[in-house]
Structure 1
Amino acid sequence: MNITLAVDSAAGSTTKLLVLALIVVVAVVVGMVAGGLSRLGGTGVPHAILRGGTAFAGAVALLLSVVLTFDLL
């Protein structure tokens, strides 16, 4: 019985890690797109980096709130 609980716990932590990894990957893509579009729009490199970082942080916050709202984590 203890083995079953350990396996269930390991499977749950693996799922949590995969969800968090997916959130980070999606947020990185969002940040890169935002920074790239900002740079193509004519802003300087420092401003494009700041906008990309802001988009990354916003995407992480939004995705984490969605995941926690629906009890996926």
Structure 2
Amino acid sequence: MTRLLVVLAALVALAIPAVAFSHSSDPDHDRMSNRAERLSGTNPRVADTDNDCVTDDDEDADHDGVDNANEIDEGTK
């Protein structure tokens, strides 16, 4: 049973594209890298993490008047 679980885990790991683990990739196309999404607490695979019709890059997670994407660009987040 343990061997089967190891094999299944390996198959799942191979099925996940390497780009999903890259810090600089943007699989959800919301102009925020995986690293930026991690810093902002958003999901790198979903463009609108909280499903409020505002994409993650346009959200203002810390409510300071500057959207997430600009904070990342300016290095303030």
The two structures have a TM-score, normalised by structure 1, of: 0.29
More helix by percentage: 1
Higher relative contact order (CA 8 A, sep 6+): 1
The two structures have a TM-score, normalised by structure 2, of: 0.28
